[in-house]
Amino acid sequence: MVNIMRVSNVTSDKEQGQLALCQRLIVHKSYFSQEEIRQDLRRHGYNDISQSTVSRLLKLLDVIKMRNAKGQKIYALNPQSQPEPDAARSVAEMVISVEHNAEFVLIHTAHGYGRAVARILDYHALPEILGVVAGSSIVWIAPREVQKTAQVHRRIVQALGLH
């Protein structure tokens, strides 16, 4: 992930918030146009955001257009501008979010840390977990019993030390 605090051209807390939110949105959703990004930023409280501001945010984040698995061009963080994984990073720095629905738990990580977080979970060998699948920036966890997904979520947060 881009270290938001290091972006020197950002002057206000409002711009910092816009930048952080824009980054999260792009990581978690596919966007085909700047207007779609602007609409989602508006839905998250930035009602007066202009297209030029969105364009500036994308430039600051080093966002590029890439082809997804379906061959469609979407906005994405430039993989070449992402920091190299650092084994000395704390788990709290690696993990962006831990979410769950009724059937599974997802952990979103900084780029390159998904497998490291999955190995930490494997090390803990939580009996409530049926399986863990990891990519470079996401970890998918299947609970042994879907009725206990919320409990598994809490146990994972505890195991990773993310109170």
Query: What is the identity of the amino acid at 50?
Result: S
pLDDT surpassing 60 at residue 57? yes
Distance CA 55, CA 37 (A): 10
Q: Please tell me which residue, 92 or 87, carries the higher pLDDT value.
A: 92
**pLDDT the model gives residue 113:** 86
pLDDT tens, position by position, 105-153: 999 887 788 898 999 999 889 999 999 999 888 999 999 999 999 999 9
Distance CA 55, CA 58 (A): 5
Distance CA 61, CA 7 (A): 9
Nearest alpha carbon to residue 59 among 32, 19, 30, 24: 19
Q: How many residues does the chain have?
A: 163
| High-pLDDT (> 70) share of the chain, % | 85
Q: Please tell me which residue, 3 or 9, carries the higher pLDDT value.
A: 9
Q: What value does the mean pLDDT take over residues 45-67?
A: 91
Helices and strands: H and E segment counts in the chain: 6, 6
Nearest alpha carbon to residue 113 among 83, 143, 141, 142: 83
Which residues have a Cβ under 8 Å from the Cβ of 46 and sit 6 or more positions away? 17, 18, 21
Nearest alpha carbon to residue 114 among 98, 134, 141: 134
- Which domains are present in the chain? 4-81 (1.10.10.10), 91-159 (3.30.1360.40)
pLDDT interval class at 6 (50, 70, 90): very low
**pLDDT the model gives residue 34:** 95
Distance CA 141, CA 108 (A): 11
**pLDDT the model gives residue 146:** 94
